[in-house]
Amino acid sequence: MKRVFLFYIFLLIVTGLHAQQADSLYAFNDSSRIAKHPWRAAIQTAALNVGVWGFDRYVMNEEFAKISLSSIGHNLKNGFVWDNDKFSTNLFAHPYHGGLYFNSARSNGLSFWESAPYAFAGSLMWEICAEKEPPAINDFLATSIGGTALGEVTHRLSSLVLDDSKSGSSRFFRELLGTIICPSRGLNRLITGDAWKVKHSYYKHHDYETLPVKFTATFGDRYLANNNNLFQGSNSPYVEFDVTYGDPLQETTNQPFDFFSFSTTFNLIGKQPLIGSVNLTAKLLGKYLEPVKGHKMMIGLFQHFDFYDSESVIDGSGYIPFKISEAAAFGPGMIYQFPAATKVTIRQSSYLNAILVGGSLTDHYNVIDRNYNMGSGFSIKSNTFIDFGRYGNFNLNLQHYRIFTWKGYDGEALKDMTPDDLLYLNAQGDKGNVQLSIVNPTMGINLSPKYKVSLGFYYYMRNTHYTDTKLTDVSSQTFETRLGLRYTF
C-alpha cells in the first residue's frame, strides 16, 4: 500500500511539474493582488484543533482527549513539562501539524512572517486546552518553529502544481496533489471555491524564471548495517525526493524561503520507519556578493530542520543505529561558487546553527514511548558539490551535532512512579551530552541528460557522555550504502 501511494504521488508530481513550466507565469511573491483574511485564518486554525480533538475524543476514544474546564485550569497552573512521546511523534509529526496551523494563515493571503504567529498560537491552544496531559515545552517549540519551516515548504511546493486556468480531470488531479502536499491550502481553496474557479489571468502560482526549481526522484536499494557489521544488516527499497528551490547565487528576490533545499527518504518495505529522513535548509535573509570577478557568494541567516529515524536492523538484536533530530535551529551560513574551469563547477556551503530543540538516541532512558534524549546545542554543516558536466557530479555532505541534556531525573524515584506520575516526570532524558557526526559522500554518474546512477555512503558516529557515573558512556558507529536510479525533472 505504501508503494502504491508513493508511486501515485510520484506520477502526479511528474505530470504537474512538466506541465507547469509551459505556460505564462507570475511571480510567487506578488502579494499585492492577494486579499488577506487574518480572522478567517484564526478561525480555521482554531477549527483545525477542534476537529482533531473531536476525532481523538469521539472516534478514537482517547483518554488524553477527555478534557474539561478543570483540566484546562490544571494545565495553566501546572505549566510546561518535557513529555515522553515517540521520536517520530515529537520531532516530525508535531512539526508537520504546526505546518497546518501556519498554512491556515498562509493560504489566506498572509506573508511568511505574518503566518508564523498562527503556528505558535495553534500549538499553544492545543497544549493547554486539547489534552488532559500536561502541556509539553518540546511540543510547543517543535510544532511552532519546525512547523513554520515545513509549512512554508509545503505551501511553496503546492504552488508548483496548481494552475487555475485548467479544468476537468487535469484540474482535479492538480488540486488533489496540491491538497496532499499542503492540506490546509487545499481545504481553504475548497471553502473559497478557488479549487474550481477557472481564471485566464494570474492563474499561475509560481514563477520559474525568477525562482527556478530542480526536482529529482531516486529509486533504489538501501543497505543498513547492524552495529557497523559489514555482513550483518538489512536491505530495503527506498525512494528519495530532492528539491532545490530558487538559486541563492542570483540577485532576484529576497523573501524568506526564496531559496531552500529539501529532501526526504521513504523506506518502502522492511523493518525501518516509513519516513527515514527529512532535511531542510532554507534562507531566511541573505546578501549576494561577488568578492572576486567570476566568484559568487551569498551570506545569510538560515533555518534548518533535520530528522533521521531508524529502528532495530535485526530482530532481537536490541541495537538501534541512530535517532537524530534538529527540529528548531537557526544560524549564519555561506554559499560560495568558484568560476567554472574546464566545465567543472565547484560550490561550497557552510553553516553554523543554534539548536533550540533536538534529540538523540539514548542507551538508558526508556519511559513510556521515549528511548531518546532531548536538549539544545549547536550543529556545524559543510557541503561540497562538484559538477563534472556531462560526466556526472560528486557531493560530500558533512554534519556534526552537539546536543546537551541538562534536565535529568531521579533514577531511584523512577522505579516507584505510577503511569500518571510519569506524565509529570518532566525530564529531557539522561543528563549529559552527545556528539553526532554524519559523513555522506554521494556520486551521480550520468546515463543521459535526465538519468543518473546514484551511489551513496553514510557513516554515522555517536559519542554520548552521561553525567551520572552509574551510567556507562557509549560510542557507537554504523553505516549504510545506497544504490539507485535518479531522474531529474
pLDDT for the residue numbered 149:
98
Reduce the secondary structure of 326-376 to three states and give it as a string: EEEEEEEEEEEECCCECCEEEEEEEEEEEEEEEEEECCCCCECCECEEEEE
Evaluate if residue 1 carries a pLDDT over 70. no
Q: What is the pLDDT of residues 339-359, one digit of tens each?
A: 887 789 999 999 999 999 999
Q: How far is CA 206 from CA 27, 29, 209, in A?
A: 6, 8, 9
CATH of the domain at 458: 2.40.160.40
pLDDT of residue 26: 40
Q: How confident is the model at residue 25 (pLDDT cuts 50, 70, 90)?
A: very low
Residue 71 has what DSSP assignment? H
- Structurally, the chain folds into a number of domains equal to 2
| 291 plus 184 within the same structural domain | no
In a domain, 302, yes or no: yes
Same domain, yes or no: 357 and 440? yes
Query: Residues 248-307: pLDDT tens digits?
Result: 998 766 899 999 999 999 999 888 999 999 999 999 999 999 988 889 999 999 999 999
- Give the relative orientation of helices 147-159 and 183-192 as an angle to the nearest 10 degrees: 60
182 and 245 assigned to the same domain: no
Q: What is the pLDDT of residue 252?
A: 66
Same-domain status, 309 and 400: yes
Q: Is residue 304 part of a domain?
A: yes
Q: Judge whether 204 lies within some domain.
A: no
Nearest residue to 468 (alpha-carbon basis) of 356, 383, 362, 378 = 362
Residues 178 and 94 in one domain: yes
Q: Read off the pLDDT of residues 60-79 as tens digits, 9 standing for 90 and up.
A: 999 999 999 999 999 999 99
- The torsion of the CA quartet 12, 18, 20, 21, rounded to 10 degrees, works out to 160
* Residue 439 pLDDT greater than 80, yes or no: yes
Q: Is the domain of 22 the same as that of 83?
A: yes
Burial class (CB in 10 A: 0-12, 13-18, 19+), 18: exposed
Query: Do 179 and 249 have their domain in common?
Result: no
223-257, pLDDT tens digit by residue? 999 999 988 999 999 999 999 999 999 876 689 99
Q: Please, what is the average pLDDT of the chain?
A: 91
Task: Give counts: helices (H), strands (E), the chain.
Answer: 12, 12
Could you list the residue range(s) of the whole structural domain that residue 60 is in? 2-192
User: Are 344 and 388 spatial neighbours (Cβ–Cβ below 8 Å)?
Assistant: yes
Asked whether the predicted pLDDT for residue 320 surpasses 60, the reply is yes
pLDDT > 70 fraction of the chain, expressed in percent and rounded: 93
Looking at the fold, whether 397 and 458 belong to one and the same domain comes out as yes
For the cut 90, the answer to whether the pLDDT of residue 12 exceeds it is no
As a whole number of Å, the CA-based R_g of the chain is 23
Show the cell assigned to 54. Answer: 473531536
Last residue within a domain, chosen from 192, 224, 258: 192
Residue 181 has pLDDT above 70, yes or no: yes
Cα–Cα distance between 222 and 483 in angstroms, integer?
7
Residue 207 is assigned to a structural domain of this protein: no
CA atoms within 13 A on the CB side of 249: 17
Instruction: Tell me the mean pLDDT in the region 38-55.
Output: 96
pLDDT at 294: 85
In a shared domain, residues 180 and 316: no
Same domain for 251 and 380: yes
Lowest mean pLDDT among 31-45, 151-165, 344-358: 31-45
Is residue 440 domain-resident?
Answer: yes
Residues 171 and 186: beta-carbon distance below 8 Å: no
Check whether residue 118 and residue 158 sit in a common domain: yes
Q: What is the pLDDT of residues 76-105, one digit of tens each?
A: 999 999 999 999 999 999 999 999 999 999
Question: Which residues, other chains included, contact 474 with Cβ-Cβ below 8 Å and sequence gap of 6+?
Answer: 363, 462, 463, 464
pTM, two decimal places = 0.91
**Rounded mean pLDDT of 202-211?**
84
What region does 389 belong to: left with phi over 0, alpha with psi -120 to 50, or beta?
Answer: left
pLDDT over 80 (residue 5): no
Mark whether 186 and 239 lie in a shared domain.
no
The rounded distance, in Å, linking the Cα atoms of 99 and 123 is: 10
